[in-house]
Amino acid sequence: MRRHFALEDPQCLVDEDPDHRIARFTEWAVELSREAAVKALKQAELRADNISALIVNTCTGYICPGITSYLIEEMGLDRGIRAYDLVGSGCGGAVPNLQMGTEYLKANNKGVALCVSVEICSATCQMGDDLSLILSNALFGDGAAASILWGRPEGLEMVASASRHVPEKRDTIRYVHREGQLQLPFPGS
């Protein structure tokens, strides 16, 4: 197992101000999303103009307009594409992303959905000797993945999906804002 961090210089994690942190999130979230999307298109033998829906999820940064607007521009996607940014779904954000893609296909059976999940966890990295900071910094890395959903018989088939929400457990693992930045405290911290 390997972890990756989207940064040029690890020193930035020590004293990065919030403005630079969100700029780094934006740069790397867009770049890693684009790379994952291009790879998924190539593997499916599709072109950008085949895509009719784009769904991107993240929880480690917030930009408005969202990451989809950057991908539409950089990848040359159709300006009339259905674009959805899912923010705040947490670690399991790919599940509602794929569910939304599946629902899109049910309504548009000849459509092709590009689903991208990206997290730049280093954009939430905080330094200190608090156990919750040490644990979150040790557990999470940066990366992106993309899937193509379409109504063709090739590839894997999504047979069903389900979600179970347990809102009363949200304090078990969640981001909070402290001093204007996202942090991932663990219970008891």
pLDDT in tens, 53-110: 999 999 889 999 999 999 999 999 999 999 999 998 877 889 999 999 999 999 988 8
Q: What are phi and psi of 101, to 5 degrees?
A: -60, -40
| Catalytic (active site) residue 64 | no
- The token pair at 81 is 């594409």
| pTM for the whole structure | 0.85
Sequence-distant (6+) residues with CB within 8 A of 69 are: 83
CA distance 124 to 88: 13
* Cβ-proximal residues to 85 (8 Å cutoff; 6+ apart), any chain: 56, 57, 65, 66, 67, 68
What tokens does 97 get?
Answer: 């992303």
- The active-site residue out of 12, 59, 64, 91 is 91
Set out the domains of the chain in order of their start, with CATH numbers. 17-150+170-183 (3.40.47.10)
- What pLDDT score was predicted for residue 153? 73
Give, in order, the Cα–Cα distances in Å from 164 to each of 100, 135, 169, 170, 176: 16, 26, 12, 13, 22
State yes or no: pLDDT of 126 exceeds 80.
Answer: no
Q: How far apart are CA 6 and CA 144, in angstroms?
A: 11
Q: What is d(CA 123, CA 103) in angstroms, rounded to the nearest whole number?
A: 31
Residue 187: pLDDT above 60?
no
130-182 confidence digits (pLDDT tens): 776 666 666 677 899 999 999 877 777 777 777 777 778 777 666 676 666 66
Residue 56: closest CA among 83, 35, 24: 83
